[in-house]
Chains A and B, each alone.
Chain A
Amino acid sequence: MKLSDLTDMALRNLREAILRNALTTLGVAVGVASLVAMLSLGISLQQLASKRLSQSGLFDTIFVTAKNTFRGMGRPQREAASDKPIRSLDEDARHELEKLPNVMEVYPQVRFYTEVRFEDKPFATVVAGMPDSSRNSGAFDGMQGNFFSSTTADEAILQIEFAKDLSTNPPSLIGQELTLRYAERQAIPAAGSEASSNGGEASGGFSVVPKQLRLKIVGIVETEPAAGYGGIGNARLLMPLDTASTLRAAQVNDLRDIVRGSSAAKTTYPSLSVRAKSPSQVEALEASIKNLGFNAFSLLDASKSLRTFFSVFDSLLGIFGSLALAVATLGIVNTLVMAILERRREIGVLKALGASDSDVQQLFFIEAGVMGFLGGILGVGFGWFLGRAITFGTNVYLKRQNLNPIELSSVPWWLVILALAFAVVVSLAAGLYPASRAAKLNPVDALRYE
Chain B
Amino acid sequence: MPDTQPAVQLEHISRYYQMGETSVRAVDDVSFSVAGGEYLALLGSSGSGKSTLLNLMAGLDRPTSGAILSNGTNLAGLSPLELARYRRNTIGMIFQSFNLLPRMTLEENVELPLRLAEVERSERAGRVQEALERVRLTHRVGHRPSELSGGEQQRVAIARALVNRPKILLADEPTGNLDSATGEAILSLLRDLQTQLGMTIVMVTHERPLAERFADRLATMGDGKLLGISAATRGAAQ
Contact = CB atoms under 8 A, between A and B. Distances in A.
Interface string A349-391: 1111111111100000000000000000000000000000000
A67 B98 CA distance: 97
Given A345-B99, A352-B87, A447-B99, A2 B115 contact: yes
B61 A353 contact: no
Nearest to B82: A356
A294 B87 CA distance: 86
Interface string B82-101: 00111111010101000101
A1 B60 contact: no
A353 B60 contact: no
A5 interface: yes
Interface string A1-16: 1100100010011001
Interface residues of A, number: 24
A393 to B, nearest CB: 45
B93 A352 contact: yes
B99 A356 contact: no
A352 B99 contact: yes
Which of B84, B86, B88, B101 lies at the interface centre, i.e. has the most chain A CB atoms within 10 A of its CB? B84
A240 to B, nearest CB: 74
A184 interface: no
A353 B160 contact: yes
B116 interface: yes
Interface in B49-69: 55, 58, 60-61
A111 B103 CA distance: 82
A253 B99 CA distance: 98
B103 A354 contact: no
A443 interface: yes
A444 interface: yes
Nearest to B118: A2
B56 to A, nearest CB: 10
In terms of DSSP, what is the predominant structure of the interface of chain A? Answer: helix
Nearest to B112: A353
Contact of A356 (B58, B80, B164): B80
A356 B95 contact: no
B115 A356 contact: no
A115 interface: no
Which of A5, A346, A354 lies at the interface centre, i.e. has the most chain B CB atoms within 10 A of its CB? A354
B197 interface: no
In terms of DSSP, what is the predominant structure of the interface of chain B? Answer: helix
Nearest to B98: A349
A353 B164 CA distance: 10
Nearest to A2: B118
A2 B111 CA distance: 14
Contacts of B87: 351-354
Given A2-B118, A444-B61, A356 B112 contact: no
A208 B139 CA distance: 111
B101 A351 contact: no
Contacts of B174: none
B175 to A, nearest CB: 18
B81 to A, nearest CB: 5
Contacts of B89: 354
B99 A16 contact: no
B95 A353 contact: no
A259 B213 CA distance: 131
Contact of A444 (B55, B101, B103, B104): B55
Given A346-B101, A356-B80, A1 B160 contact: no
Which of A1, A346, A349, A350 lies at the interface centre, i.e. has the most chain B CB atoms within 10 A of its CB? A349
A3 to B, nearest CB: 10
Nearest to B88: A354
A357 B84 contact: yes
B113 interface: yes
A354 B99 contact: no
B148 interface: no
Contacts of B227: none
Interface in A1-56: 1-2, 5, 9, 12-13, 16
B131 to A, nearest CB: 13
Contact of A349 (B55, B58, B85, B101): B101
B116 A353 contact: yes
Contacts of B60: 351-352, 443-444, 447
14 contacts: A1-B116, A2-B115, A16-B103, A346-B101, A348-B99, A350-B112, A351-B87, A353-B88, A353-B113, A354-B88, A356-B84, A357-B80, A358-B81, A444-B60
Given A354-B84, A356-B84, 19 more contacts: A5-B115, A9-B115, A12-B103, A12-B104, A16-B103, A349-B99, A350-B116, A352-B58, A352-B87, A353-B87, A353-B160, A354-B85, A354-B89, A354-B164, A356-B80, A357-B80, A359-B84, A444-B60, A447-B99
